[in-house]
Structures are given as C-alpha cells and as structure tokens.
Chains A and B, each alone.
Chain A
Amino acid sequence: MSAFLTYLITGLALGCSFALVASGFVAIHRVTGVVNFAQGTFAVVAGLMAGSLLGRGLPHGLAEILAILLAGAVGLVVGVIAIGKRGTPPLASLVITLGLGILAYAVEIIIWGDQPISFQMVPGSVDIAGAPILRQYLVVIAVALVTFAGLGLFFGRSYLGKALTACASNPYAARLAGINVMRMGLLAFALGGLLGGLAGVLVTPLQPVAFDSDVALATNGFAAAIFGGLNRPGLALVGGLVLGVAEAFVAGYLSGSYQTEVALALMLAIMIWRASRRVSVAEEPA
C-alpha cells in the first residue's frame, strides 16, 4: 500500500513536471500555431543556469528566478527568429525551432560543459500515510497547480489572454481589430520560455539535467500537450498527470528501462480512442 502511494505521488509530481513543459507548448501553439521544438531547451537552460548560479553562492529563490527569466529571454529570442519575419508558415517556424534547439547544444556545452548538473531545492522527505515522499515532489505539484490555475484565468478571463487566443484563431481578423499579431506571438514565446524555465528549475533537483536532456523533457511535455490538442492548458495538465502516473507505475511495478515507451504507448491509445469517439459524434445526423 505504501509503495502504491509512493508511486502515485511520484507519478503525480512527474506528471506535473510534464504538464509544465506542456504548458509552454500550449502557450506558444495556442497563439502562433507553431509547434515549438525548442521547448525542452528552455527547461534545460533554466536548470543549468540555476545550478551554476547556486554554485556561485546566490541564494535560493533569486537563483531560480534569474534562471527562469533567462529562459523567458531565450524564448523571446527563439520567437524573434522563428516568427519575426511576417508570413513565415508555422511549419517553417517549427523547423527553425528544431534547428535552434540543436544549435543550443553547442552554446550550452560552451557555457556549462557536457556534464549533468543538479542541485537541491527543498531537501528531505515527509511521511504521507506511511509512504516517504520527497518534499521536492510536493513543491512541483503545488507550483504546477498554481501555474495552471493562473494560466486558466489568464487565457480564459483576461482581455490580453483573449487577444492572444484570437491571434491563432483568426490572425486576419485579429489584425483588423488592431491587435499586433506579431507582438502577441513574441509575447507567447516569452511566456513559453518562462513556463519551460519553471519546469526546468523544478525538475533539476529530481533528475540531473545536461545539455541533451531537452529531448526527454520535450517528448513527455509534447505528449501531454497533444492531449489537449496543443491548445488547452487544462487538458494538457490531465495529459501530463496520466502520463506521469503511468510512467511511475511502470517503473515501480515492471521496469524502469521502458517506462517512457509504455507511457507513450498508453498516450497513443488514449488519443486514438478519443479521436474515434469524436468521429462517431460527427457522423451522427444533426
């Protein structure tokens, strides 16, 4: 029973970290229609930066915030390159982000080397119903929930959030209304950078991060984001949680060596099931 609870909470925390990466995908895709394959890079940059700032004696809090802001700035730069030229098709932007993610490897190795970096944020563990749970997991869960509540309010309630949504919904009409679609897209990339950075800073204490950790982070984050069609933060959170819990149980009860594969297969099955249900609804006579 206590093993079950440990796996469950570990899985939820893992899922929350996937969901945070996913939220960056969603923020960018929802506004620009671009699938940003540099999303994992934002997390890696923030993780590495936080690690080296803490190594230099900066206090907790400040180091993490600076690292997240750096990721936001990197997001903005990626945005400028990917969508800064008007009329760039989303597919071309996608390829640009893919290229930038690979280019980032070189920069990261020059600055931080090629060894994994980790640091402690909230050390120790607590007992929950007899199951020892790392405090860091609880931090991840709490931050993710607050972030998603904030994102939901931002996109669903605020005027700026609606203008951002309008940009992807109908860019032509958005421009007619006087919305600066390009600026909104850049804002979305910066937001995506911040969210990716937040994920990176929270994950690094749990699993050391190196320059090439972006693939694993982005794969899981993307799978979670796809669950909500890359547009719905709430569903991305659900997707992340399903994925995280599945991975934790596979790792706990079966084997850690193919937890990601099993979880992704599960995700695929869910998506196919959902797609087939949608078709059958559409086929019903109106």
Chain B
Amino acid sequence: MLEVTDLVVRYGRATALDGVSLELAPGEMVALVGPNGAGKSTLVDTLSGIVAPAAGRVVLRGRLAQVPEGRQLFAELSVADNLALGAWRSGRGRAGRDPARVFEVLPDLRPLAGRLAGTLSGGEQQMVAVGRALMADPDILAVDELSLGLAPRVVADLARHLRELNAERDTTVLLIEQNARLAFDLCRRAYVLESGRITASGPCVQLAESPQVARAYFGGTTEGAGDPVPGGARDP
C-alpha cells in the first residue's frame, strides 16, 4: 500500500529525515511515535506531496489524505465548507462534495455543519479535520498528532472513530503520536522515529517491552499508569 525507502528530506542545510524506510500493508493501522522535532510531520508532508524529498523513494498505491498537526481548519469557513473542500482533489463534482458519507462515520459533525470552523472546541475541530480528510475518500489516512491539546475523553472518542474506520471500512491508518501509550494501544505495529531516523520498529507489544522505548516513552515502566484507554471512555 505504502512503501518508503531511504527517504531523505532537507530544509535548506538541516536534514529532517535521514534515510527513513517504512511500509504499510492494506488495512493496517500503524503507529509512528517519536519526540518533538523528530521529523514525523515532515514525513507525512512528504507523503502528501507538499514537501519534496532530496533522495529516496515513496511508492503509494491509492490515495492518501492527511489530518494535519494542529487541525489547520479554514477558520473563516463553515464546517460544511471545510468538509466540501476536502473533496477538492476528487474532482467528482457536486456528488463528491456531499458530506453525507462522512456524517455516517462521524455523526457528531452533522449538527455542526453550519458553524464557523474557527468557533469550535479543539475536539470538534479535530473531528472536522478528520472528516475533511475523509472527504477525499482516502485509502490511507495519515493522522498527525491526534491527541495534541485535547482532553482524554475527547481523544478516546476520536480514537474509537479511527478504530472503526480501520476495522469496518478497511482504511489504512498511519497514526502519528507523541502519546506512545495511546498509539500502542490502538495499533499492532509501530515505528519509532528519532532525529530523522527510524530507531526501532516492530509489534507494539515487543516495542513496549524494549527497555530503550520504555524509558523514553513510558517513563521507565511498561505498565499503563493512568492514561486513558481508548474505547473505554471515562470522565477525567
């Protein structure tokens, strides 16, 4: 579905990605974790085609849509317009812009359709951002920092939607997270990106047990200690 080989991306003289390789099979839900500045957003921007790689290869079978870090909604436009513009690339005319199919997956969006995107809460905005990406009918959905700045309960709700999308609609998902516990909980497999390089990869269960990953992302323990488990939403 997606095959990235020895990808190198530079911003001027700085190297943001240095020989990154990864692979996604159809229907998989894979996590990409790593600290701030590791190059995660750069990687998705390259996959989206808006950052040009200096070297390496990206083979993409199907359409990729990105839920960008920080939502990036069109604040002055309504939710309905934000969704409609998500279908810009599809070129399927008025029918392609009909948000009905996204409302099926994200019913909470329906009552928000007439609101200005800039006036919504963070969680609502993130849902619009997911919905806008879905309007492109993606085969792969790349979600950059799903949980950033959101309350745990809201994150759990969004995570449940992603899991449904993946399980019921067979959408391949690349989930980028700083919250490794959330990512490992949702995905079976993960990559760890640090300073532009993949430093570890494999099944989440194994990664979580590796002392290096455990130290960096779970504060030294491998047992969950209070972070919310998606799917079992509870009040904070």
Contact = CB atoms under 8 A, between A and B. Distances in A.
Contacts of B84: 159, 162
Contacts of B132: 177
Interface stretch (A70-78, A123-131, A165-173): A165-173
B107 to A, nearest CB: 23
Interface of B: 48, 50, 66, 68, 72-77, 81, 84-86, 88-89, 97, 132, 136
B55 to A, nearest CB: 21
Nearest to A172: B72
A179 B85 contact: yes
Interface in A167-194: 169-170, 172-179
A54 interface: no
A163 interface: yes
Contact of B76 (A169, A173, A174, A177): A169
Contacts of A176: 48, 50, 66, 68, 72
A170 B76 CA distance: 10
Interface of A: 159, 162-163, 165-166, 169-170, 172-179
Nearest to B81: A162
Most chain B CB inside 10 Å of its own CB: which residue of A169, A173, A177: A177
Contacts of B81: 162
Q: Is the interface of B mostly helix, strand, loop or mixed?
A: loop
A174 B66 CA distance: 12
B76 A179 contact: no
B72 A173 contact: yes
B73 A177 contact: no
Contacts of B77: 162, 165-166, 169
Contacts of B66: 176
Contact of A165 (B50, B72, B73, B76): B76
A163 B72 contact: no
A177 B68 contact: no
Contacts of A173: 68, 72-74
A225 B88 CA distance: 29
A166 B117 CA distance: 12
Given A163-B85, A165-B74, A173-B74, 11 more contacts: A162-B77, A162-B85, A169-B74, A170-B72, A170-B73, A170-B74, A177-B85, A177-B132, A178-B136, A179-B85, A179-B88
17 contacts: A159-B84, A159-B97, A162-B77, A162-B81, A162-B85, A163-B88, A165-B76, A166-B85, A169-B74, A169-B77, A172-B72, A173-B73, A173-B74, A174-B74, A176-B68, A176-B72, A177-B85
Contacts of A166: 74, 77, 85
A165 B86 CA distance: 14
A97 to B, nearest CB: 24
B74 A175 contact: no
Contacts of A175: 50
A187 to B, nearest CB: 14
A37 to B, nearest CB: 24
Contacts of B74: 165-166, 169-170, 173-174
Contacts of B97: 159
A169 B68 contact: no
Q: Ordered nearest first, which 7 A-B pairs have the shortest CB separation?
A: A178-B89, A173-B72, A169-B74, A166-B74, A177-B88, A175-B50, A162-B81
A286 to B, nearest CB: 12
B85 A172 contact: no
Contacts of A170: 72-75
